Amino acid sequence: MRNWMTPIIYTLMGLAVMYIGLQLFTNTMSFLTSIVLMIGIAVLIYGAIYFFFLRNRGFGGGGGNKNEMKKYKQAVKQSKQKYKQPTPTVKKSSLSKVAPKPSVNPKRNRKRMNAPHLRVIEGNKSKDKNRASF
């Protein structure tokens, strides 16, 4: 099927190129006007499709709807708070004496972090599954 379709496609493409060349040389102004009109209509159709369908999907790095974006920003904020590093201090001059910091106790009492997104699901843990009954 593909073998007999190839010459037909090439013939149609050749006729199209010949017609475009003929229109370009015989009726240049009309040809250019129709080309500009086709491009304008294509831009309007694409703009309408983008405005009504693609804009709300968040293509191009936006990602998701407003609710998902809100959750993402909250997660980023929590992550920054969790892995916060102290900002390095810059010495202004070597002449000024900096008071030594008191030594930090290595066995510092750390608070246990509560993870609200993790929870234990209670279930029947004492039951063993009998694989032979499946």
**Burial grade of 70 (CB within 10 A; 0-12, 13-18, 19 or more):** exposed
The residue extents of the domains of the chain are 1-81
User: For the chain, what is the mean pLDDT?
Assistant: 76
- Tell me the C-alpha distance between 113 and 81, whole Å: 12
The pTM of this model reads 0.36
Is residue 14 within 8 A of residue 20, CB to CB? The reply is no
At 117 the pLDDT is 77
* pLDDT tens digits for range 21-37: 999 899 999 999 999 99
* pLDDT tens digits for range 96-115: 555 555 555 555 555 555 66
